Amino acid sequence: MRKVRIGTVSFLVEETATTVEANIEKALDYVGEAAARGCDIALLPESFNCYNLGPGAVRMAEAAEEISGPISMLMSEQARELSINIAANFPVREGGRVYNQTTFYARDGSIAGFYRKVQPTVAEVRQTGVTPGDTIDVISLDFGCVGCITCMDLYFPELVRILSAKGAEVIFFPTMSHGPSEYTLQTQLCARALDYCVTMVEANYSKAPPYAPYAGRHNPGRARIVDFDGLIIADTGHRPGIAVADVDLDARRTSVSVCGITEVDDLRSDLLRMTRLDLYAHEYAKLDEQRRVRSEGPAY
């Protein structure tokens, strides 16, 4: 068995506006709590440093820092001091461009890799100056191979399919989404986990109880971990805190008479062997050409 204890944060949103400094301090506290609970890795939600800053707050472009800037240094120090892996999403600037980036810090404080949101919302691009990422890489940590998608990326199943095909065993999903319905994210997370044989890990934001879904309190939370059978194995509910689960990365996803290659089916490897990537690539290329001919171009 190759067990990993995963911790993911449902970040408390205060009733009044906060500051970047307070957000960072709270994030470090959450990481400290995850480490105290024996977690091998802690996931923070999307743009934790610049969330809930109130009227006239800085935009992502203004909050962005170099990849080795002050926030990164704090995360690196926390990872090293607590001997924990950290996945932290905050805007990063490089070469005059701003990216919605999740940076992975190894236990020794080094940067193990990063992911830049491939499918940012149109508002992110047009209003905050975010540049879409253009790589879909798997990151190696001391417990296994992981991948990442961010918020709007969840609507594009190809990302999880590609990461799974490249060997990712756990997909981290920092987000700030709260709709379009209370169960949208849950349905999508479970489907991605089930279809691509991966563990999905969500970090989000929540208000303090009492919580009434969509009754003017637009932070439904929750931090969730979904296993490769599509089952929710840890969940904070609509409350702030940390969801923790122990996951065996060596556990085989098996079923009977689905693929017809092995008996019983070893779904992860069997589905990959069956996947007609050449056909899908061909069809996507044709669709892209049709879009170009119609002069629609990308939405960005």
Model pLDDT for residues 146-163, shown as the tens digit of each residue:
999 999 999 999 999 999
Q: Quote the number of domains for the chain.
A: 2
Residues 150, 297, single domain; the answer is no
Residue 64 lies in domain: 3-251
Residues 299, 157, single domain; the answer is no
What is the rounded distance in angstroms from the CA atom of residue 249 to the CA atom of residue 99? 30
What is the rounded distance in angstroms from the CA atom of residue 95 to the CA atom of residue 222? 35
Model pLDDT for residues 182-234, shown as the tens digit of each residue:
788 899 999 999 999 999 999 999 887 765 555 555 566 789 999 999 999 99
Q: Is 54 left (phi over 0), alpha (psi -120 to 50) or beta?
A: left
Residues 94, 195, single domain; the answer is yes
Binned at pLDDT 50, 70 and 90, residue 297 comes out as low
Residues 187, 296, single domain; the answer is no
Sorted by sequence, the CB contacts under 8 Å of residue 83 that are 6+ apart come out as 35, 107
Binned at pLDDT 50, 70 and 90, residue 300 comes out as confident
Q: Measuring CA to CA, which residue among 253, 260, 247 is closest to residue 229? A: 253
Binned at pLDDT 50, 70 and 90, residue 57 comes out as low
Predicted structure pTM score: 0.94
Give me the pLDDT at residue 127, please.
86
Residues 277, 175, single domain; the answer is no
Residues 237, 276, single domain; the answer is no
Mean pLDDT of 28-54: 95
* Cα angle for residues 105, 111, 112 (degrees, 5° grid): 85
Residues 29, 148, single domain; the answer is yes
Q: Which amino acid is at 191?
A: A
Residues 94, 127, single domain; the answer is yes
Residues 177, 124, single domain; the answer is yes
Q: Cβ of 298: how many Cβ atoms within 10 Å?
A: 10
Residues 135, 101, single domain; the answer is yes
Contact between residue 88 and residue 63 where contact means Cβ atoms under 8 Å apart? no
In this model, does residue 271 exceed pLDDT 60?
yes
Residues 197, 257, single domain; the answer is no
Model pLDDT for residues 80-92, shown as the tens digit of each residue:
999 999 999 999 9
Please say which residue of 218, 236, 251 terminates a domain: 251
Give me the pLDDT at residue 131, please.
95
